Amino acid sequence: MRTIAVVNQKGGCGKTITSINLSAFLAREQRRVLLVDMDPQGHATLGLLAEAGPPARTMYDLFLQRAAGQPAALRDVIRTVRDNLDVAPADILLSAIPDTLAGLVGRENILSDAIAGVRGSYDYVVVDCPPNVGLLTFNALKACSEAIVPMDPSFFSLHGIGKLLETFDVLAKETNHHIAARVLVTLYSGRSAFVKAVVDEIRRHLAGRHFDTVIRYSVKLAEAASHGVPIASYCTRCAGFEDYQALTAELLQQEAAFPRDGQPSAPALTSEGVMFSLQAFDAERVHLAGDFNDWSLDGSEMEPIGGVWKKVVKLPPGRYRYRYVIDGRWQRDPLNADIEPSAYGGDDSILVVDESVASEHSPASVYTESASD
Ligand SMILES: Nc1ncnc2c1ncn2[C@@H]1O[C@H](COP(=O)(O)OP(=O)(O)OP(=O)(O)O)[C@@H](O)[C@H]1O
Ligand SMILES: [Mg+2]
């Protein structure tokens, strides 16, 4: 399952239009998609559920439940929009959550925990963020391993983007949570030399951290959203349709680089051994260290394909501890919920290779202890 936050603290740069249309195109490509609306403005909800009337339960209820110490289930909130496309709606009440949850330990992990509960039901979770970096955006970032940063080509946008990328770095340093972020140029008019210069500047500055697709200004996108439908249900011969289709294709193309079911995953058994995989677009070197190789970095380098790093290791049945070492930083496997504190600080990931399972060589048959899908 890929988890993608659509995030930029700047307002009106196309986050919601991107969330709606990317989700809808992915669903058309037979991917199972959940769009989570984390913006109290509820624009993604309106843009997809306008006809359906106000939702009975929203993300507000989910957060509130958790604040009351009860388990919060995303399933209770989710509404089906059409085949392969569900939405977890939001409305203005969500704006009360940061104050209501002030001081609650673990409040930034609520969305991440909730999404873990639907892992297996979706191929993609897309999270539409509000235009600020507060508790709601932090929840989205902690829940996602990728980010799309829509950016309208203006001077102020260039200024803000540096700040946002810094936020990702802080998150990585303080919580060991890494996000592969890429900028998406939106609202592109292409007519003025200034706009062209800004786009050139973005590409120079963000080598490898931007999409090749550029979203042109297309009034049909705004019209479709105001009718509560994605662009494909409104017009198929317009720049908005072509551009979001191209963006989706660009995103799907990366799936080819993902080891299993198109995704990096917790360790999986292959006929060659146990396949470890990790997504880290910006890393220069990644090693796999564990008790099975005496935690040594010698010969434990992983191979990058796209932004996904892989290594296959032959392991006899047993229980193992391991970590990924990304450019010198030791971290647990973000896709494996089974962890144990290490004597040296932080957490190790735990992997159990089962005796019966090890002999079967079926791709999905190495179990982490609490695997839910
Ligand atoms: N490519 C586009 N062409 C024309 N209009 C667009 C395009 N993308 C977005 N818009 C319009 O621009 C406005 C802002 O877009 P959108 O709501 O997606 O931005 P946002 O970043 O989600 O805003 P906010 O920060 O308020 O949540 C909306 O009216 C939307 O319909
Ligand atoms: Mg929005």
Query: What pLDDT is stored for residue 295 in this prediction?
Result: 96
Residue boundaries of the structural domains of the chain: 2-255, 268-360
For ligand 1, residues with CB inside 6 Å are 11-17, 39, 41, 43, 131, 186-187, 215, 217-219, 221-222, 225
Compute the distance from residue 188 Cα to the ligand 1 centre, in Å. Answer: 12
Average pLDDT taken over every residue of the chain:
87
The pairing of strands 85-88 and 33-37 is: parallel
Kindly give the number of the ligand 1 atom that is closest to the alpha carbon of 239.
Answer: 1
Has residue 125 got a pLDDT over 50?
Answer: yes
Nearest to 31 by CA among 148, 116, 124, 121: 124
pLDDT band at 99 (very low <50, low <70, confident <90, very high): very high
Query: What pLDDT is stored for residue 365 in this prediction?
Result: 36
Nearest to 20 by CA among 32, 37, 39: 37
Has residue 137 got a pLDDT over 60?
Answer: yes
The average pLDDT across 21-34 equals: 96
pLDDT band at 263 (very low <50, low <70, confident <90, very high): low
Instruction: Give the architecture (CATH level 2) of 268-360.
Output: Sandwich (2.60)
Nearest to 129 by CA among 8, 1, 229, 2: 8
Residue nearest to atom 6 of ligand 1 (CA): 222
The string of pLDDT tens digits covering residues 273-323 is: 898 999 887 788 999 999 999 999 999 999 876 578 889 899 999 999 999
The string of pLDDT tens digits covering residues 329-362 is: 999 998 888 899 988 888 999 999 987 544 444 4
> 328 is written with which tokens?
């010198």
The string of pLDDT tens digits covering residues 162-176 is: 888 888 888 888 887
pLDDT band at 367 (very low <50, low <70, confident <90, very high): very low
- Burial (CB count <10 Å: 0-12, 13-18, 19+), residue 196: middle
Q: Which ligand is nearest to the CA of 20?
A: 1
**Which residue among 16, 137, 152, 241 is best mutated to probe the pocket of ligand 1, counting the most ligand atoms within 8 A of its Cβ?**
16
Query: What pLDDT is stored for residue 56 in this prediction?
Result: 87
Residue nearest to atom 13 of ligand 1 (CA): 12
State if pTM tops 0.85.
no
Has residue 146 got a pLDDT over 70?
Answer: yes
Q: Which ligand is nearest to the CA of 234?
A: 1
Compute the distance from residue 42 Cα to the ligand 2 centre, in Å. Answer: 8
Nearest to 4 by CA among 163, 141, 169, 121: 141
Kindly give the number of the ligand 1 atom that is closest to the alpha carbon of 187.
Answer: 1
The string of pLDDT tens digits covering residues 192-251 is: 788 888 888 888 877 768 898 999 999 999 999 989 899 999 999 999 999 999 999 999
Residue whose token pair is 């989700």: 23
Domain 2-255, CATH homologous superfamily name and number: P-loop containing nucleotide triphosphate hydrolases (3.40.50.300)
Least confident of 75-79, 83-87, 91-95, 118-122: 118-122
Has residue 373 got a pLDDT over 70?
Answer: no
Q: Give CB contacts under 8 A, 24+ apart, made by 52-61.
A: 52/79, 54/91, 55/79, 55/89, 55/91, 58/88, 58/89, 58/90, 58/91, 58/93, 58/94, 59/88, 59/89, 59/90, 59/94, 60/90, 60/91, 60/93, 60/94, 60/96, 60/97
Query: What pLDDT is stored for residue 171 in this prediction?
Result: 83
Q: Which ligand is nearest to the CA of 131?
A: 1
